[in-house]
Amino acid sequence: MTFSDPLALDFDFAERLIAWQRVSGRHALPWQVSQDPYPVWVSEIMLQQTQVETVIPYYRRFIERFPDVAALAAAAEDDVLAHWSGLGYYSRARNLHAAAQKVMHAHGGRFPADATGLQGLPGIGRTTAAAIAAFAYGQRGAILDGNVKRVFARVFGVEGWPGEPAVEKRLWALAEVLLPQEDIARYTQGLMDLGATVCTRGRPRCGICPFANDCLAHGQGRQRELPGTRPRKTLPERAVAMLVLHHAGEVCLEKRPARGIWGGLWGLPECEAAASPAEAAVGLGFAVHEVRALPGLRHVFTHFRLAIAPWAISVASQGPSGPGRVWLPGEDLEGAAVPTPVRRILQMFFAEASRG
């Protein structure tokens, strides 16, 4: 069997998946304690492009600080970003905050009760809306995240890279065909569990898969070939210098623009990698005492690699100040809304400073 005729299934995929999830799936995730759409929504946004093991501690801290949609909507964006710091893809946090405010102001504090309404909230696409609707309301809808694409491509022999529009269209058609009429929440969770714990990217555990006897990839030994891989593309390199301007045990942070990388977070002042860091500091209005280089680091984004050259610059005073500039003492770093590379630089700087 191949995907050329998705209706010609000689086994009940959904029934078998539901039975497997009931026995072998994940049932103790912290957001599975109720059908309240708020924790379901928060978890689904966090799980976009991030593994469960990474998400769990962030989720617990986030829910402790923002226990309901009203608390999240009323919070300052900086507070939301600070509790997201380290998870990456910060547009998710900004969309989460904006969606909470829309729920409060446009929906009377209640989440839309169907996938179509949920897709009207910032940051919620087709898969996320269907997942929330399934878990919170038991509504029938197809999902197609990265794990699910891998399961379908292997079991049903779907050729090509899932990011190609034609391949993705075939996978969506298959996802719709396979939907059961009942037990949609368990089926949806089963798809996620199977892709995350059994049909993994690198070392699939085919020996315990409920579809091992019917999976085309397993039967043909093509687990490494399916799904197809993204066409290789060389990531461009960029370089930047970051200025650790410090005075009296505190460092200067500047608010980053809402758009662009690390939007809305607090970062270090920057200049071109080839520029003089001392002159850059003077250009910002500071009197420079001492300049020294810190160890460089690299950070990989989806579309480019960034080489960062940090410079520790002792300045005469903390002025000039403004609404987009704050001074951070070392003891406040843990709770600051800063990008991961900036956090690493500052951890290194404050650690050296504490050693004298």
What residues are labeled active site?
44
CB 268 within 8 A of CB 254: yes
Calpha distance 141→126 (Å, rounded): 9
CB 351 within 8 A of CB 321: no
**Alpha-carbon distance values, 219 to 16, 83, 104, 197, 276 (Å):** 18, 45, 51, 20, 61
* Token pair 């087709």: residue: 126
Radius of gyration of the chain (CA): 24
The token pair at 195 is 């892709």
The token pair at 244 is 């650790």
Q: Where are the beta strands (DSSP E) in the chain?
A: 237-247, 250-255, 266-267, 270-272, 288-293, 297-300, 305-315, 325-329
